Structure 1
Amino acid sequence: MNEEIRQLEPQAIWNKFADLNAVPRPSKKEERVIAFMKDFGKNLGLETLEDAVGNVIIRKPATKGMEDRQTVVMQSHLDMVHQKNNDTVFDFDTQGVMMYVDGDWVRAKGTTLGADNGLGVATIMAILESKDIAHPAIEALFTIDEETGMTGAMGLNSDILSGTILLNLDTEEDDEIGVGCAGGIDVTATRQYDEEETPEFKIGYTIKVKGLQGGHSGMQIHEGLGNANKIMNRLLFDGFEYFGLRISEINGGGLRNAIPRESSATVAIDTEKEKAFVAHIAELSNMIKKEFKVLEPQLDIIISKSNTPKNIMDLGVQEGLTKAIYAALNGVYRMSPDIPDLVETSNNIAKVVVKDGKIHIGCLTRSSVESSKWDLANALRATFELTGCEVEFSGDYPGWAPNMDSPILKVMEDLYESLNQEKPHVAACHAGLECGILGQNYPDMDMISFGPNIRGAHSPDERVQISSVQKFWIFVQEILKQIPKK
């Protein structure tokens, strides 16, 4: 199947992407892809090293006549988001991604594709391997764990790179030149609770929310897509008052940077209220589907009778949990007053797990403004603490402030216009890019982010546009030719 991908143009990129996607590389499990990249660099005879946290750096000298140009850092991350459809049998720890061509797009069979940021990695590999592309001295920086903590960028020493220009290949619109990004912080609420034995007069039901699109919790947070955890909470919220509903288990969502697509709950209801309960869930489900019929046409809410659960949540804790999830903000908190159409601050309620006397709620709060990020994080903290949860902040990383006077920005703007007969869209994004972190250790480095068209990142609908990769490849090569002198 992946052989079809290798025939696409430019083969220099697609062959490297196929090689890379044959290597399992979920976040925090990058050992195999680190070894793969080190072997790649060494086999080319290039200086290759792994730093203390697992980042790989490969250095390639300038081609003849380009020795007087500034050294360029070309940077992408090695890890990928591992999401799959529930009916897809796939092990991200042992299997390579199975790709196929769908018109002008490359997709994966029921899983994330890894174009984020595998296309960037493959592009850099193609440049390193090339023998006929003019370029200045290059430091290729392949970071780890970008998707679940950015610990690779955070752990990079301030004396390992000598380049003065950084090209980050992790933007998903081919007409966009990125000059800024959001920072983020993980907000985690946990609590233990007493379980009760389910009374004999109750029966069991399972409720499932599925068929949502999911997607990138930064780049798509403003689109109004369905959040499986919030939808499930609507279904459970007033169930005790009307049907004696008691929660036994909830398992919703997964990774913080992915809008949750699915949730499942096991509940117990009063036997005598069964008919009314089924009718109520059906009516509420139809209302929710109607609300989302344009954005989420595949949304499905399934209710089915199941074995009566042995244990249920303490009632007071259940009421507090459902109220807290209802009150906790999900989506856009504030739009930027400075940059038109840019989301400044947002939150994704990414994961809700209730099982065996334990509650775990995982959120990712993003903002391009530090004070606003902490404002929303503290609002979430207050919401969850009011219901008895302990709240932890972790994984804090900074945003990247735009520099509109950037010399490399001017080069790229002019070059893009000459190649495409239109001006590029110069913008900041609401995703978390590593530029903000790298800029802390390399404050004088001139940084830009760009890339090919990628849609549906962080979901099994992820896809990359073939024609856009061709456009991107031409742009990359021309940029390298026009790097300013030292």
Structure 2
Amino acid sequence: MNNIVNISENEIVEGVLAEFSQLAKIPRPSGYEKAVSDYLYKLFSDMGCRVVQDDVNNIIADMEATEDCQEKPLTVLQAHMDMVCVAAEGVDFNPLTDEIKLVREGNLLHADGTSLGADDGMGIAIIVYIMKHLESHGPLRAVITVDEECGMTGAEKLAPEALADARYLINCDSEDWDLLTVGSAGSGDITFRQGFCPMRSSLPKLYRLKVSGLRGGHSGEEINCGGGNAIKALAACLHSWRQKGLAFDLVSFNGGRAKNVIPGGSEAVFYSDAGLEELAAAADESRQEFLAVYGSIEAGAVFAVEPVEDVEAIGTAAGVGRPQAMDRHQKDNLIDLLMCLSNGVSAMSQLCPGLVQTSANLGVVRTVFEADRGEKYIEVQYMPRSANEGSILEYYRTAEILARLTDFELQTGRISPSWGERQDSRLAKLMLEVFAEQNGQPMRMATIHAGLECSWHLQKNPQLDIVSIGTNNNDIHSPSETLELDTVAPQAKLIAEVLCRI
């Protein structure tokens, strides 16, 4: 019997938020999950689960079946504990030490100036709530992984034994309450890196060129929304200056927050002998060219040039005196690389109308000056996605050629597999049936152009019947991230009823 279905929606929301608020207090950017992993270990242990914390800090927590459900098969409830930590411009936020400050406004929950972390803290909170309150269920296993956002290393390193005896897996990392995800794209990991080649510029004035105000967004789910890429826009502006014969020496180029996030802002610091008025006019010309392509989406785009008054504040000074510029060959190579990297959608699915099949995101450019470690380098992070692994390999081959032509060192990570739809999924059929009964409307079913850990889970146990669901999380991976609270209780009730019917 599903007792959760009889709990009021308000009580469910408050209970889930109580769990989520505890997670929000613990800093948990990708790669720094030990504290939240320790918290989850104790939480599940206190709930009576048998808990394992593995070598990479994944949590595997087993809860025995209730007496009336001993014959039911094992079901895994899965989410990830890390989050994308970003702050709005001007917000003082250290993702390694600062908690997420929650703000509740009507039906929306958001953070105070930072990303919220509902992706995927809300998945964990709902799993914990269900395991605490569901009175009748078969054997359950919570699998909470690390590093989903940056490399899916938690899912990759998860021991096959954690999934070998399971029949069903419900992933709680999707972003639409009425969408049943039954497949996802694979992805690649490409990094270009080059040691900084310094020179002392003879040009007299130091400026900053900023591109800002772009919408940004998730590089999988929002890559086909028609927006621009701030790194590409800045590179195009600098390229046009080269074509016009404007003299400039580049000191730094920085933009983007993560390889899987479409960059909404970028900036370059440079020397020039041109006046501010001339440079501003050239930047505005580039903005007009940008708006001619993206204006219907990016009307708020800003291309601005300003003088740099406080030289030390830019953090690029080598010793004392003026910051060094990169030599002109390296400047040209960097701009050439950024201009040549394909960005956005390159192919649509022939089987599923409207679904992106292949895309790429130019996510991050960093000019790094670490005096204490003696490191100076330029780094470019690039992420292709596709339902077809061969298409990702094509990006890898192109990257190899571009790296050779521009003198960059190339680093390529392993390709994350795609997750294909299972035509005979009993779990998907049951989800659709229960959702329609509970909500009086059909549930949509789709394959998505984003990466989910389900693909790695299927590699460990090809017999697993897997689906992915989630609450309405808007503008994820950004300071504008919000959670729609009225989608929380329906998710909890859906999962609870499905567990009772399995």
TM-score (norm 2): 0.90
- Paired residue for 2:331? 318
Deviations 1:358-394 (Å, cap 9, x if unpaired)?
3211111111111111112322332333212121111
- Paired residue for 1:86? 89
Q: 1:248·1:355 contact (CA, 8 Å) conserved in 2?
A: no
DSSP-derived class of the 1:238 partner: helix
- Paired residue for 2:174? 171
User: How far did 1:225 drift?
Assistant: 2.2
Structure-1 separation of matches of 2:22 and 2:348: 40
Query: What does residue range 33-432 of structure 1 map to in structure 2 within 5 Å?
Result: 33-130=36-133, 132-161=134-163, 162-199=165-202, 201-240=203-242, 241-271=244-274, 274-289=276-291, 291-307=293-309, 310-355=323-368, 358-432=377-451
Structure-2 separation of matches of 1:415 and 1:275: 63
Which 10-residue stretch deviates more, 27-36 or 313-322?
313-322
User: How far did 1:192 drift?
Assistant: 2.7
User: How far did 1:402 drift?
Assistant: 1.0
Deviations 1:290-331 (Å, cap 9, x if unpaired)?
654442344322210125853222222222221221121111
Letter in 2 for 1:327: C
Letter in 2 for 1:363: Y
The alignment of Structure 1 onto Structure 2 pairs a total of residues equal to 475
Structure-1 separation of matches of 2:94 and 2:198: 33
DSSP-derived class of the 1:469 partner: helix
Structure-2 separation of matches of 1:339 and 1:134: 39
Q: 1:213·1:459 contact (CA, 8 Å) conserved in 2?
A: no
Letter in 1 for 2:278: A
Residue 487 of structure 2: which of 465, 468, 477 is its match? 468
DSSP-derived class of the 2:462 partner: coil
User: How far did 1:193 drift?
Assistant: 4.8
User: How far did 1:470 drift?
Assistant: 2.2
Deviations 1:11-41 (Å, cap 9, x if unpaired)?
2211111111111111110011011001101
Structure-2 separation of matches of 1:274 and 1:121: 51
Structure-1 separation of matches of 2:251 and 2:337: 18
Q: 1:8·1:14 contact (CA, 8 Å) conserved in 2?
A: no
Structure-1 separation of matches of 2:253 and 2:463: 48
Letter in 1 for 2:348: M
Letter in 2 for 1:468: T
Deviations 1:382-415 (Å, cap 9, x if unpaired)?
2333212121111421111111211111111222
Q: 1:218·1:257 contact (CA, 8 Å) conserved in 2?
A: yes
Change (3 A) 1:203 1:451: same
Structure-1 separation of matches of 2:145 and 2:61: 12
Q: 1:76·1:141 contact (CA, 8 Å) conserved in 2?
A: yes
Structure-2 separation of matches of 1:247 and 1:57: 49
DSSP-derived class of the 2:307 partner: strand
Q: 1:247·1:265 contact (CA, 8 Å) conserved in 2?
A: yes
Structure-2 separation of matches of 1:291 and 1:160: 49
Identity fraction in percent: 29
Letter in 1 for 2:247: G
Change (3 A) 1:454 1:166: same
User: How far did 1:274 drift?
Assistant: 4.8
User: How far did 1:150 drift?
Assistant: 0.8
Q: 2:120·2:173 contact (CA, 8 Å) conserved in 1?
A: yes
Deviations 1:425-453 (Å, cap 9, x if unpaired)?
11111111111111111111111111111
Structure-2 separation of matches of 1:328 and 1:149: 21
Which 10-residue stretch deviates more, 227-236 or 190-199?
190-199
Q: 2:174·2:181 contact (CA, 8 Å) conserved in 1?
A: yes
Structure-1 separation of matches of 2:336 and 2:39: 48
Structure-2 separation of matches of 1:310 and 1:78: 40
Change (3 A) 1:89 1:310: closer
Structure-1 separation of matches of 2:351 and 2:300: 36
Q: 1:133·1:477 contact (CA, 8 Å) conserved in 2?
A: no
User: How far did 1:289 drift?
Assistant: 4.7
- Paired residue for 2:476? 457
Which 10-residue stretch deviates more, 42-51 or 342-351?
42-51
Structure-1 separation of matches of 2:150 and 2:68: 41
Question: Where do 5+ consecutive residues of structure 2 fail to align?
Answer: 1-8, 312-321, 370-375
- Paired residue for 2:456? 437
DSSP-derived class of the 1:310 partner: coil
Residue 12 of structure 1: which of 3, 12, 15 is its match? 15
User: How far did 1:176 drift?
Assistant: 1.0
- Paired residue for 1:3? none
- Paired residue for 2:316? none
Q: 1:335·1:345 contact (CA, 8 Å) conserved in 2?
A: yes
Change (3 A) 1:244 1:8: farther
User: How far did 1:231 drift?
Assistant: 1.2
DSSP-derived class of the 1:250 partner: strand
Question: Please, what is the CA RMSD of the aligned residues?
Answer: 2.0
Deviations 1:134-160 (Å, cap 9, x if unpaired)?
321101111111111111111111123
Which 10-residue stretch deviates more, 419-428 or 229-238?
419-428
Q: 1:250·1:355 contact (CA, 8 Å) conserved in 2?
A: no
User: How far did 1:334 drift?
Assistant: 1.1
User: How far did 1:165 drift?
Assistant: 0.4
User: How far did 1:170 drift?
Assistant: 0.7
Change (3 A) 1:316 1:145: same
Q: 2:283·2:304 contact (CA, 8 Å) conserved in 1?
A: no
Which 10-residue stretch deviates more, 162-171 or 100-109?
100-109
Structure-2 separation of matches of 1:310 and 1:88: 26
